Amino acid sequence: MRALLLLVALLELLLQPPLLLRRSKAFYILKLLIFCMAVQRGFSSVIFAVLGIVIIVVAVAVIFSLLVGEPPVKGIIYKSIELRKSTEPVERANLISSLDDLVTEADNQDVKDQWNRMMQCLASSCPDEAYLDMILVTVASFEEEIPESAVLVNIIATAKYWDNPERLLDFSKAMSMANEQIEKLDDRKAVKLWQQVVECNNACPEKYDLYFELIGTIVQ
């Protein structure tokens, strides 16, 4: 609308007779300046209005993300590793309760199913493979939330398939990729732990301790 009025003013100025044009030159120049300022103010108002809307949308998105929160993937991994090492009854009970809450919060059926399978052995003692499976299912279910998901999957596959002739190809691929991915992490502790895993050759008694410490180091 303001642009249209500005155009009309210009036409009026151009259509004036020469004498009148000279007499009213100052008036029309002033008029044009006023219209230009009005147009500029209108344009600025639009910009500020758009910026205001953008700020409100961003603020709502941030508040929503804070209220919803991210899936407790790392918490499940950490608690699983802690539970594996725990021997004190009260501590184990607290860890099991915490893990159950985290699994419920994660709201993923695969993770829930794996947790239910673990509950069947937790009354006595779960094998190391059960904890690896718990971490594997969690990582696979929330790949996008864990940047290191690929290397974690390959580490766990290496642990599960080592010395299994039926899965020799799967083991070889997993170990090769894990070795390359760990080198790219630029994490000295992770590289050292991985080297210990390799040197262990699936024969040393602390092999699973090395795997779980490596997983915990990478997830941090």
Q: What is the pLDDT of residues 195-207, one digit of tens each?
A: 999 999 999 999 9
Q: Give the per-residue pLDDT at 151.
A: 97
Domain boundaries in the chain? 2-68, 73-219
- What pLDDT band is residue 47 in, cutting at 50, 70 and 90? low
Can you tell me the distance from the alpha carbon of 66 to that of 60, in angstroms, rounded to the nearest whole number?
10
Can you tell me the distance from the alpha carbon of 210 to that of 193, in angstroms, rounded to the nearest whole number?
6
Task: Give the other-Cβ count within 10 Å of 19's Cβ.
Answer: 8
Taking a C-beta distance cutoff of 8 angstroms, is the pair 97, 124 a contact? Answer: no
Per DSSP, helices labelled H in 16-148 are: 18-23, 25-68, 73-85, 89-106, 109-122, 128-141
Q: What is the pLDDT of residues 128-143, one digit of tens each?
A: 999 999 999 999 999 9
Task: Give the other-Cβ count within 10 Å of 162's Cβ.
Answer: 18
Nearest to 117 by CA among 108, 130, 104: 130
Residues 6+ apart with CB under 8 A from 3: 39
Q: What is the pLDDT of residues 24-42, one digit of tens each?
A: 544 455 455 455 455 555 5
Q: Give the per-residue pLDDT at 53.
A: 60
Q: CA end-to-end span of the chain, whole Å?
A: 59
Nearest to 12 by CA among 39, 29, 36, 38: 29
Taking a C-beta distance cutoff of 8 angstroms, is the pair 193, 213 a contact? Answer: yes
Q: Mean of the pLDDT values across residues 47-66?
A: 47
Instruction: Pick the more confident residue, 151 or 62.
Output: 151
| pTM as predicted | 0.69
